[in-house]
Amino acid sequence: MRLWITTAVLLGIVLIAAATSRTSAQGSQHLQAGIASGEKLSLAFDASAGGRACTVIEVRGDFVGCRTESQAIGRPALEQWYNLRLVARIDRPAPQQ
């Protein structure tokens, strides 16, 4: 009986430790990377591929809303939302010196 109680207590401690470590690991990964509304970015989903240019509309948690430029005359700009967890690379224009 003592062995069963000890095993149950140890299992409970391990489960609690695992649950708190997952929460803190997710909390420490700040995915927004300082993205601000109105900023012009290029988002790439493959590290070696070209990115998709957009102007940031809003950031909501792990998602960023972008407005793309009009592709042709008579075609309106598009609003698209991207999951930042799936973005491999974010390119920003170099600051003017």
pLDDT tens series, the chain, 97 aa: 777 788 776 666 766 766 665 443 334 344 556 888 999 989 999 888 888 888 999 999 889 999 987 767 777 878 999 999 999 998 888 877 6
9 inside domain: yes
- Tell me the pTM: 0.57
96 inside domain: no
Residue 43 is inside which H or E element, if any?
strand 40-44
Residues in Cβ contact with 79 at an 8 Å cutoff, skipping those fewer than 6 apart: 57, 65, 66, 67, 68
* Alpha helices by DSSP H, the chain: 2-28
pLDDT computed for residue 82 by the predictor? 92
pLDDT computed for residue 81 by the predictor? 93
57 inside domain: yes
**80 in the same domain as 45:** yes
**46 in the same domain as 26:** no
60 inside domain: yes
**87 in the same domain as 51:** yes
Tokens 């300082």 identify what position? 34
Domain that holds residue 5: 1-30
